[in-house]
Amino acid sequence: MLNLSTNRIDGKVNTKEYISFSRAKDYKAARVFARILLVSFFVLLMLVFLPWTQNIRSRGYLTTLQPDQRPQTINSIIAGKIEKWFVKEGDFVNKGDTILFISEIKDEYFDPELLSRTEDQIKSKELSVRSYMDKINSLDAQIDALLQTKKLKIEQANNYIKQAQLKILSDSVDLEAANTNHQIAIKQFERQEELYKQGLKSLTDLESRKLKLQETQAKMISAENKLLTSRNELINARVEINSIMNQYLDKLSKAESEKYATLSNMYDAEAVVTKMQNQYMNYSVRKGMYYITAPQTGYVTKAIRSGIGETIKEGEEMVSIMPAKYDLAVEMYIKPFDLPLIKKGQKVRFIFDGWPSVVFSGWPNVSYGTYGGKVIAIDNFISENGKYRIFVAPDKDDVKWPEALRVGSGANGIALLKDVPIWYELWRNLNGFPPDYYTSNEENSVTQTSKK
């Protein structure tokens, strides 16, 4: 009450018997409320000067650290028809275990004796190659024999030439001797004739000397004829060498031509053998592809194609499998606006779906139920959703991630940035400013060292 009236009731009415009087005149609650407001003001004033960790929050999901540890689908390399299943969804399989069996649907592979018949064809072609090789060896021996015979024939012809040259030399000497004898006989006949004219010699002596002259002339002509015959023999010997060269050149050319033709046939046969061996290996490998096996140890998660007798195409997905052993990581997407603030090795806190947590994003040390990670990769190209992908692995120096986590479950990531006062963070958010760009002390020291 304001006590403005002159008619006071103090001492006339016992106000303690009425609750309304006690409520109107009791000022203790007001004083307590004022104190609470004052204390709250000072507490808030102190709070705004407390440190606050700036952060970037983003939604992601669990994946595996290595690409070969992620869920994969098994494809059929060849077209076929499903004949038998050896597993069902949820089964655990080891690497190499048979998952299903398919049969052939292409007519060129229907023959059950395809491999053996192809092998017989390869053996036949190999025998053909050996025959060609034997023929080539025979031709080589024939060529060697021809070369040896040619050499002997040429030596023989050279010997004939030498003999002819020596005979020419001998006949030349004989011709010179006969010519000398003829000249002497001429002079003797002339002296004999002079003496006969003087009456000193008889006619008989003159005729005898004339006969002697004719004999020497005949011998000279015979020697000259023999010399010409020897020269002709030398020419014939030289012609014979050319004939031998041409003769054996023709024989050797024919043998070598046949040899090269045989070599060409042998190479063709070898090419056919190689092609058939390649075909045989393709048939053998294809036969092994009828059994679809597990590429690694894991769990069969889904049979994409099912049933018996269903046909499939090359490269078609058959079944999906999840590896049994894997290392977890988180795949997050951040806005291009925040990309400059993220660095490799940066700390990230995670809240996993299904795991209780109490989170103070600005005070990570006070939060409960969060798990640490480190950024290990940042995409250089923007994703289809307009954000950049970052890859975060578990922090080995932090609490170990729960073993019950599964690939594909959600995760809320909090990338920790710079420590600032709370009032600054409030002011930044009210004005729409981005978090402060910063580099760690280690990065600063590395930068300064490189500059030096």
CA angle at 47 for the pair 362 and 419, rounded to the nearest 5°: 35
Residue that has been written with the tokens 């018997």 in this structure: 17
The amino acid that residue 33 corresponds to is: F
Asked if 350 and 371 touch (Cβ cutoff 8 Å), the reply is yes
Residue that has been written with the tokens 């190479």 in this structure: 267
CA distance 275 to 118: 11
Provide CATH code, domain 51-67+326-451: 2.40.30.170
Parse the chain into domains and list their residue ranges.
1-47, 51-67+326-451, 71-104+290-323, 114-283
Can you count the helices (H) and strands (E) in the chain?
6, 14
pLDDT of 449: 43
CA distance 112 to 119: 13
Establish how many alpha carbons lie within 13 A of residue 347's alpha carbon, considering only the half-sphere containing its beta carbon. Answer: 17
Provide φ and ψ at 376, rounded to 5°: -115, -15
Instruction: Extract the residue ranges of the chain whose pLDDT is less than 70.
Output: 1-30, 52, 357-368, 418-419, 432-452
The amino acid that residue 256 corresponds to is: E
Closest by Cα among 315, 319, 421, 393 to 54: 421
Q: Does domain 71-104+290-323 have CATH number 1.20.120.80?
A: no
The per-residue pLDDT for range 245-297, each reduced to its tens digit, is 888 889 889 999 999 999 999 999 999 999 999 999 998 988 888 999 999 99
The CATH fold of domain 114-283: Helix Hairpins (1.10.287)
Strand partners, 351: 412
Cut 0.85: pTM above it: no
Strand partners, 368: 358
Q: How many residues does the chain have?
A: 452
- 10 Å CB burial of residue 227 (0-12, 13-18, 19+) is buried
CA distance 147 to 429: 103
The amino acid that residue 427 corresponds to is: W
pLDDT of 23: 60
Closest by Cα among 307, 168, 162 to 229: 168
Q: Which residues contact 107 (CB under 8 A, 6 or more apart)?
A: none
